[in-house]
Structure 1
Amino acid sequence: MSRFVHPAGDRHAEMLPHERPPQAPADLNRIDPAIWPRTSTRTDGALTVGGVDVRDLARDYGTPVYVLDEDDVRSRMRDYATAFAGSDVHYAGKAFLCKEIVRWLHDEGLGLDVASGGELAVALSVGFPPERITMHGNNKSVAELARALEAGVGHIVVDSFDEIARLGYLAEQQGKRPKVMIRVTTGVEAHTHEFIATAHDDQKFGLSLNAGTAAEAVRRVLALPQLELVGLHSHIGSQIIDTGGFEVAARRLAALLVQIKDEHDVVLPELDLGGGYGIAYVEGDEAPDIKELADGLREIVTKACVEAGLPVPRLTVEPGRGIVGPGGITLYEVGTVKDVEGLRTYVSVDGGMSDNIRTALYGAEYTAVLASRESTAEPMLSRLVGKHCESGDIIVRDCHFPADLAPGDLIAVAATGAYCRSLASNYNYLLKPAVVAVSRGAARVIVQGETEDDLLRGQL
């Protein structure tokens, strides 16, 4: 079966550099260890993860299917715990949360951040220690705050004046005195997409340092004896590679700590710098080294506080993507291969934006390979797309597959462990795929795939 292979000197040579498609990799069969799960390899030509052949996964669980390398995820939990020894590491559950992930967190000694009552319910359902839970959210409901108080979560990060009053009232009603942190918008412009940058002033999260609302929030919390103010919280964004923004945020938070001490004679013992640490999605991406990151953040906080004449607070970090992202892949089956002469080949698979909205949402980039076999065919400039009724239903905008790619082949997309399942939908009434954990040659379902009965349940 012939496939169109773009010759040298075609119209792409006339494009501006930023418009040109990427160069084809030297080896289309290579599994880059910087991008793929740590146990990934090729065995008899097929991709294996956790010692399990992807062809067996497709046969046993169907496609699309999310595959999570348990040993990879657990090892990254340990990496963070070791690198940040003496500090607190709280996994950001929004990246991907299910009961089994919570069990792994418990085993590895990490804490957990939740951003809704539903995430809190998942954690509590398997007996995760509530004192190791931090409750986030920019608009926590009365019911969510009440549940958090009843459960005895370790920290509640307040995000508005309304919430301070709401939480104070509920705490008094329940006779509780929760530990509270104030989310501060530090004005740092993180080098990331605007939808995942969270520390500039013109957005929904936090209380502004520049406008003085963060300082006013401190006054209001300290005025309520039923709330215990223990620290400040900052989160500058997501998929951050350049850590310079953390230094700016830490210095600005240290200045606020000084202001709090001068105005209220209160020294806050904790500082949470959030998460957002980037991972490698495509060749050339450089994820931060965890130990270097930890040492750097500690040095930043220590220096900023010493210069400000303050004791160094206990540091908390909140990695999510950095723990679960690299250990996940999504497996698809090719349905159609359509040449658009002079442009590219469109490779359509049996999933799409319902199982990975990130490309359509903010232009995320991914690495994809032919996973069910190796090929020595010429590279074919391709666009990996889904089956939804949207032109924007794109999984990988520009990639290369071998020119002998055919319907029935399996495609694997790397680094989909974070946010893909969390953001999944039933658009066009597609079923949400199962999540299958693999380890040491064995596979097991940790989140069941949906059925048509699940789709119809609740409809009257």
Structure 2
Amino acid sequence: MHLYGTQSVNERGHLTIGGTDTVDLAHTYGTPLNVYDIALFRERASAFKKTFESMGIRAQVAYASKAFSSIAIYEIAEQQGLSLDVVSGGELFTAVSANFPRNRIHFHGNNKSFTELQYAFDEKIGCIVIDNFSEIELVKEIAESRKESMNVLIRVTPGVEASTHDYITTGQEDSKFGFDLKNGQTDEAFLQLYNHPYINLLGMHCHIGSQIFETDAFRLAAEALMNKMVAWRDNYEFICTVLNLGGGFGIRYTEEDKPLEPSVYVEEMATVVLSMTRSHNYPLPEIWIEPGRSLVGDAGTTLYTAGSSKEVPGIRKYVAVDGGMSDNIRPALYGAKYTAVSANRMNEPHVDKVTIAGKCCESGDKLIEEAQLADPTEGDIIAVFCTGAYGYSMASNYNRLPKPAVVFSENGQHQLVVRRETYEDIVRLDIPLQLVRREERI
């Protein structure tokens, strides 16, 4: 079995994370419970930053917070000197609530509302990543009416096909995101922005997808954007000062996954940029990247309590847990794979092959179809690894299940950072019926 970060097994045969016993955490905070290994987050953040520093490149490493958003994780990101990628007014509000430095906030999204863009201007954030022509007009309108400047990047789709699931591929020509690099849209966006008195065009942005293991696509994307930057210099005497190459760096969910070290992705992309700036005599831009999953994915573990079980002779054994697709939609949404352990019986052989089923009223609510556990019985604590990205952030109240609590663990200490929802929270926005029945009006 593969353990991650600070995970280990203590003298009680229990899984520990950040020096704390997961069984104790489950008993203290209840289950389902999301536990984050904060030391691993810090380690990954440092690795990205140090790689740029070692290559002598000015850079910003922005945490792509859609992977997991909360005040506490934004505070950790700020402690590590990261920037922040937000994609909605809600994420921006969370960043403001965390008092995150506004000049290091980058606002993404393919359908930013007028209100959200006004909010970005109100907070004087560091950059808006322009996604479409409608947004250009909105940003211009706000900037001109206020006579306030705003830094922007143009998001482009470089036409690079990344080897990943269709649902998380974003860099190909047929994408809802960005301006197409090949059909002239990117040039048209540039012409609408680069000479505007209140728009400070920094450069370009691309994001080719998520959970990518190879570096070829990243290199091709960097080359495509650099070629366009050189063309803008030659044709318009415009120099891009920022090149944002996005994120999407893969992590290990199962033993079949073979991710590279964070430094490798950075080195491969940066080498292309360095080479092309030298060959074209182009000023080296500041490089921005946006890791999300690769910072929090394998730093997160979800703890469940085993409940009922069912054996279908000759087919499979089901073990149900007290969560499921309501706190981790990824297996049901696009067949994401995970591994699990019996957190309270780590020293016992994990040879029983079972399907871990959730408690939602859906046949497809299965977290892992062939998990190997230690003869699971009711009351066992089952830990599912690598749930730190797109678990809690995509959680729902389907079947009116409360969202789980979130705990950070580091150096033998643990802290609740998101409280568990209650049934009262579930109905908090409901409004009792006040309409008068028809027969009562006669």
TM range (shorter): over 0.9
Output the amino acid matched with 1:178: M
Task: Find the counterpart in structure 2 of residue 62 from structure 1.
Answer: 30
Q: Counterparts of 1:223 and 1:298 in 2: how far apart (Å)?
A: 29
- In structure 2, which of residues 414, 420, 426 is the aligned counterpart of residue 449 of structure 1? 420
Task: Find the counterpart in structure 1 of residue 50 from structure 2.
Answer: 82
Q: Does 1:49 align with 2:17?
A: yes
Q: Is the 8 A contact 1:187 1:208 kept in 2?
A: yes
Give the TM-score normalised by the residue count of structure 1.
0.90
Relative contact order (C-alpha < 8 Å, sep 6+): which is higher?
1
Aligned to 1:384, the other structure's residue is in SS state: strand
Query: How much has 1:452 moved relative to structure 2?
Result: 0.6
- Structure 2 vs 1, CA of residues 104 and 378 (structure 1 numbering), >3 Å: closer, same or farther? closer
- Residue pairs, 1:166-315, within 5 angstroms: 166-315=138-287
Aligned to 1:43, the other structure's residue is in SS state: coil
Q: Does 1:114 align with 2:86?
A: yes
Task: Find the counterpart in structure 2 of residue 422 from structure 1.
Answer: 393
Query: How much has 1:384 moved relative to structure 2?
Result: 1.2
Q: Counterparts of 2:11 and 2:216 in 1: how far apart (Å)?
A: 41
Q: Select between 65-74 and 270-279 the one with higher mean Cα deviation.
A: 65-74
- Residue pairs, 1:20-31, within 5 angstroms: 30=1
Q: Does 1:37 align with 2:37?
A: no
Query: How much has 1:142 moved relative to structure 2?
Result: 0.6
- Structure 2 vs 1, CA of residues 376 and 154 (structure 1 numbering), >3 Å: closer, same or farther? closer
Q: Counterparts of 1:260 and 1:149 in 2: how far apart (Å)?
A: 27
Query: How much has 1:375 moved relative to structure 2?
Result: 5.6
- In structure 2, which of residues 41, 44, 47 is the aligned counterpart of residue 73 of structure 1? 41
Query: How much has 1:154 moved relative to structure 2?
Result: 0.8
Give the TM-score normalised by the residue count of structure 2.
0.94
Q: Provide the aligned C-alpha RMSD in A.
A: 1.4
Output the amino acid matched with 1:104: I
Q: Counterparts of 1:321 and 1:84 in 2: how far apart (Å)?
A: 19
Query: How much has 1:304 moved relative to structure 2?
Result: 2.9
Q: Is the 8 A contact 2:341 2:350 kept in 1?
A: no
Q: Counterparts of 1:333 and 1:238 in 2: how far apart (Å)?
A: 30
Q: Select between 288-297 and 90-99 the one with higher mean Cα deviation.
A: 288-297
Query: How much has 1:246 moved relative to structure 2?
Result: 0.7
- Structure 2 vs 1, CA of residues 392 and 181 (structure 1 numbering), >3 Å: closer, same or farther? same
Q: Counterparts of 1:333 and 1:280 in 2: how far apart (Å)?
A: 24
Q: Is the 8 A contact 1:39 1:72 kept in 2?
A: no
Q: Is the 8 A contact 1:305 1:312 kept in 2?
A: yes
Aligned to 1:303, the other structure's residue is in SS state: helix
Q: Is the 8 A contact 1:345 1:380 kept in 2?
A: no
Output the amino acid matched with 1:315: I
Show structure 2 runs of 5+ residues with no match.
Answer: 432-442
Task: Find the counterpart in structure 2 of residue 439 from structure 1.
Answer: 410
Task: Find the counterpart in structure 1 of residue 299 from structure 2.
Answer: 327
Show structure 1 runs of 5+ residues with no match.
Answer: 1-29
Q: Is the 8 A contact 1:38 1:327 kept in 2?
A: no
Q: Counterparts of 2:32 and 2:38 in 1: how far apart (Å)?
A: 19
Identity of aligned residues (%): 43
* 1:171-216 per-position Cα deviation (integer Å, ceiling 9, x unaligned): 1112211111000000100100001000111120010011111111
Q: Is the 8 A contact 1:255 1:308 kept in 2?
A: no
Output the amino acid matched with 2:233: K
Query: How much has 1:223 moved relative to structure 2?
Result: 4.3
* 1:287-314 per-position Cα deviation (integer Å, ceiling 9, x unaligned): 2212222222210111233334422211
Q: Counterparts of 1:388 and 1:287 in 2: how far apart (Å)?
A: 32
Q: Is the 8 A contact 1:432 1:450 kept in 2?
A: yes
Q: Counterparts of 1:40 and 1:140 in 2: how far apart (Å)?
A: 43
Task: Find the counterpart in structure 2 of residue 133 from structure 1.
Answer: 105
- Residue pairs, 1:152-167, within 5 angstroms: 152-167=124-139
Q: Counterparts of 2:389 and 2:136 in 1: how far apart (Å)?
A: 31
Task: Find the counterpart in structure 1 of residue 342 from structure 2.
Answer: 370
Aligned to 1:396, the other structure's residue is in SS state: strand
* 1:120-159 per-position Cα deviation (integer Å, ceiling 9, x unaligned): 1111112111001111010101111111111111111000
Aligned to 1:134, the other structure's residue is in SS state: strand
Output the amino acid matched with 1:442: Q
